[in-house]
Structure 1
């Protein structure tokens, strides 16, 4: 576990796969660069077909014994796993800040504590899965949640550690074994997660990591016939080919995809509070799927709201994510930066007006100014498609019905925000077609609550019992209350 390491920000981390409890190098590799200053962090082993096969084989071999342990015994391992993550807190923070550009302050105070909780909370929750009985006149129905088998977990680059543990926690707690394919642009915290799993004593093959590109390594993984489940967070185009590959083998998929969520400001809203929350949409350089990116503001308060939010945005600290005071960091990759820039240029050419921002930020080549565009049509590209950068749009409405028409007028349905008098805002929020929506708030999450989207924003729900419904095979054990006599007339 200690040989052939690369050093990033003083942290030694393996660039190789973790398969069956051992590090496995590849003859092929790819470069990993930091979004902060484009420096080379190291070369990462590329997952070839033989590595994918070995990882799935290791997981399949480990599955029967891990499943047989039961929730209480698995909890012992998973509690140790969570503790080992905590022991490496500083390393996780530094690695993800350097390879994904995530704010160091967010890693310290939010992501790492949440990653630990993702493992321990689901281990606790799994204890109550069994012994659910449905009593009827004829029989007792013992409803079991049995482990499904080998699970492929594919995570995105905007929050690699949190989203990996968000899936790994319930998958392992349910008794499955996993193969994690981390994002090629930010794989380091998944590698360190393997160190934590190893130190916690997870049996070989229960937790595996295979690094590589989505089009090759990822494609090979999701096509494997031995998989029982595929859990993916990422883009709609990638989800489509994952679903096609899974469909060939009838493997169930959980797909948590993008968003184009509305941020609704009603006439009776607390404008200062709404504006302060609005500025939060630029965190992680806007690379947050659940952010409210389409601002819909009542026309009578639009000017006042814009000026209040402008004040908050002008005071945002754009810079090095490793510095505690930084609030907006870099876009993760030159390819993503170009995508964001081109979205804005096309929108301006299409008639959009820039309220603030609109171009490259002088801090560095992968930094983009926090941007707000207005005078945009509902059917325009900038309103209808996910940008995944620090770019927001603003439209106005005259009444609730018009606000709802705009809010529901895209193919996405992940999240949303609604600010106004609480009764008014709640009533309107209930009519927005989305997987979840915050009233006079943003970012409140609980592991017991469902998370996921509708329409192009995904299939399925994660969190609490919904995670276990996906990661388990639900079985009904039927025990008759009276002696049963077979008959051809029996139905």
Structure 2
């Protein structure tokens, strides 16, 4: 077992895989750079076919005993797991700020507490799913949630710790064993998560981490027929490939994908509150799938709304995410910077007007100005496709029906926001084809509630019972109320 670690601003973390309770090295590796200043953070092990196979074997070997423990005993392990995450709170903050560019303040006050809750809440919730009963005149139906087996979890780079634990919590609480393939642009928090699992005493093979690129390591993982489930959060093109590959083996997939969510402002909205919320769409440099990125504002109040929001945007602190006062940090990778810039340049060339921003930010090479574009056509690329950067569009409407039509006229359906008089805004929100939508608010979440999207925004729901329905095999044990005698009916 290697002791080599990377030193990330005083935090030591392994750059290697975690398989069967042990660190495992690779002859191949890839470079990891910080989005803050492009400095080299180190070299990370690249998983090959042998590492994927070893992780699956370790998970298979650990599964029978972990599944047999039952929800109550698993809860003891998982509660300790959550505690060990908490003990490493400062380290998680440092790692994810440095390799993913996530705001330190967001990590400390939002992500780490949520990561702990993702583990402990689902461990508690699993106790309620031990067995449900349906009694009829003929029989007693005992409905069981049995663990499915070995689960692959593939996470994106925009919030690695939160999204890994969001899937890991219910998967483990249900009795499955897990292989995590972290994002190659931001793998370090997953590596530290393995240390927390080990310190909590989770049996070897229950949690495994195999690092690598999606096109190589990820492809080998999702194509393996020994998997019982695949849970993926990421892009639509990758999801299509995963679904096709998993389909060949009839492995069920949960796919949480991108968004192009509407932010609707009716003419009777509290414009100042709506504008302040609108500025939040630039958090994490706009790399948030559930953000409202298409502003649909009633024509009568568009001018006033724009000026209010401009005031909030001009006050945003842009800079080093490790500074507690920073509100907008860097874009994750040079390739993503070019993608964002390309969207804006093409939109402007097609006639879009820049209300603010529109270019790289002078703070650093991977920083982009918070941007708002208007005079955009409904069928344009910038309106129809996910940018995943600090770029928003603004269109106007003259009736609630038109607002709903524009909101629904994209291929995505993840989230949404609607500001206006509560009853009216609720009526509009109910007509938007999306997985969830906030009325006069943003970001309110509960682990018991469903999360997921419609159309190209994904398949399935996560949260509460919905997570367990995916990570479990639902079984009906049927016990008759009176002696049963087999007979054949005759015609």
Same topology, TM > 0.5:
yes
Deviations 1:405-451 (A, max 9, x none): 10000000000000000011001100100000000000000000000
Q: Matched residue of 2:75: which SS? A: helix
Q: Indicate if the aligned counterparts of 2:21 and 2:205 stay in contact, CA closer than 8 A.
A: yes
Cα pair 2:257 2:456 within 8 Å, conserved: yes
1:7-61 per-residue CA deviation (whole Å, 9 max, x = no partner) reads 0010000000000000000000000000000000000000000000000110011
Q: What is residue 259 of structure 2 aligned with on the other side?
A: 259
Aligned partners of 2:401 and 2:94: how far apart in 1?
Answer: 47
- Aligned residue in 2 for 1:3: 3
Trace 1:37-436 onto structure 2 (pairs within 5 A): 37-436=37-436
Match of 2:81, SS state, is helix
Aligned residues: 490
Provide the rounded CA distance (Å) in 1 between the counterparts of 2:219 and 2:53.
12
Per-residue deviation at 1:486? Answer: 1.2
TM-score by length of 2: 0.99
Paired residue secondary structure (1:227): coil
Residue 130 of structure 1 deviates from its aligned partner by 1.9
Structure 2's unaligned 5+ residue stretches are none
C-alpha distance in structure 1 between counterparts of 2:10 and 2:336, whole Å = 27
How far residue 489 of structure 1 moved from its aligned partner, in angstroms, is 3.1
Tell me how far apart the structure 2 counterparts of residues 323 and 180 of structure 1 sit (CA, whole Å).
30
Secondary structure, in 3 states, of the residue corresponding to 1:178? strand
Distance in 2 between residues matched to 1:338 and 1:159, nearest whole Å: 20
Q: Is the 8 A contact 2:278 2:309 kept in 1?
A: yes
Offset from partner CA, 1:453-490 (integer Å, 9 cap, x none): 00000000000000000000000000000100011339
What CA distance in whole angstroms lies between the structure 2 residues aligned with 1:448 and 1:135?
Answer: 26
Rounded Cα–Cα distance in structure 2 between residues aligned with 1:321 and 1:292: 22
Shift of 1:158: 0.1
CA-to-partner distance for each residue in 1:158-209, whole Å, 9 max, x for gaps? 0000000000000000000000000000000000000000000000000000
Output the CA distance in 2 between the equivalents of 1:413 and 1:179.
Answer: 29
Quote the Cα distance in structure 2 between the aligned partners of 1:404 and 1:89: 42
Structure 2 counterpart of 1:456: 456
